[in-house]
Chains A and B, each alone.
Chain A
Amino acid sequence: MKRDRRSAAGAALAALAALPGCINLTFSREHIDEPVPVAVLESLVEGNDDLGTCLQRLGAPYDVFEYRDQGMALLWVWRDKDGFGLELSSPIENTSNVSFTLDLSDASLPGCVLWFSPDLQLERWRAGSVGDLLPGRLRRPSVPEADR
């Protein structure tokens, strides 16, 4: 009888420790936007396709940058990450703290960039991580440096 009580107390204690909000193992996955199909990228012809045909095939980019004075560079980026984590706090709090937007300062994000000449012909395209595609230009300043 005494042994039964001790086992029950132990089980209850273990259950309490594992309650959500205390300690738990979490497997989470986050998707932001959809990847650009590689086949579509590979169908682009440098020097032949232009801004219009590229927008038609790839849709709207995530961001647009000025490139060589009158040219432009278009960035597509997305996120599909998963992983395990040992949590020591409430899972509800964790999910509410997650950002819903892409952070371009995350150099590991997958993406692709298309560069266009001043006459808006496709010069080249590259796919890879944002850090490699736009080194030193991960975030366009929202306020000019001089105004800070």
Chain B
Amino acid sequence: MLRTCLLLSLFITAGCAVGRQDTNEPLDALVIREFEPGKTTAREVVERLGAPTEVVQLGRRTAYRFDASTTKSAGLILLVINFFNQDTRSDRLWVFFNEQDVLTHHGGSFGTHRTQYAMPWENVHEASDNQSRDVERPGVGK
């Protein structure tokens, strides 16, 4: 009776949970590759990428930020102890313009496709994992 009761409680209490949250559309790396410093204008950047998340005034220069993020959460719910892991990565692009609103520099990072469902003891930043995911994303993998 006691054994059955304990066994039953294990079945009742063990479970798992997963969740995902995306903010904004991932940035298009192929579109960003086409930007040419000294030629592309702020207007052209906005026409291709939409409204920036943030605009920063830097003296006479301006910088626009574009971003998107993906969060993957995973949980293992056991009898007494629970394990949760949450992994958030971002696509982020900063474009810098001179006084004439012409692009001078840009820097991008692409991470939304690297996000993983994992347990807290797992390493989600393994280079081999990142490389295999990069290959599948157009404009990011080499």
Q: A residues within 8 Å of B by Cβ?
A: 4-5, 7-8, 11-12, 15, 18-20, 24-35, 51-52, 54-56, 58-62, 64-66, 69-72, 82, 87, 91-92, 94-96, 98, 100-101, 118, 120
Contact = CB atoms under 8 A, between A and B. Distances in A.
Contacts of A92: 17
Nearest to B64: A64
Contacts of B21: 100
Contact of A15 (B9, B77, B94, B124): B9
A100 B2 contact: no
Contact of B82 (A20, A30, A51, A55): A20
B2 A7 contact: yes
A92 to B, nearest CB: 6
Contact of A98 (B12, B86, B89): B86
Contacts of B58: 64, 66, 70, 72
Interface residues of B, number: 52
Contact of B65 (A4, A12, A18, A64): A64
Given A4-B1, A11-B5, A70-B61, A28 B83 contact: yes
B111 A33 contact: yes
- Secondary structure at chain A's binding surface: helix, strand, loop or mixed? mixed
A8 B3 CA distance: 9
Contacts of A29: 84-86, 120
B2 A4 contact: yes
Nearest to B37: A52
B50 interface: no
B29 to A, nearest CB: 12
B94 A60 contact: yes
Given A11-B5, A60-B107, A95 B17 contact: yes
A94 B124 CA distance: 22
Contacts of B37: 52
B107 A11 contact: no
B102 interface: no
Interface string B43-61: 0000000000000111111
Contacts of B82: 20, 24-27, 87, 91
B73 A95 contact: yes
B5 to A, nearest CB: 5
A31 B6 CA distance: 35
B23 A27 contact: no
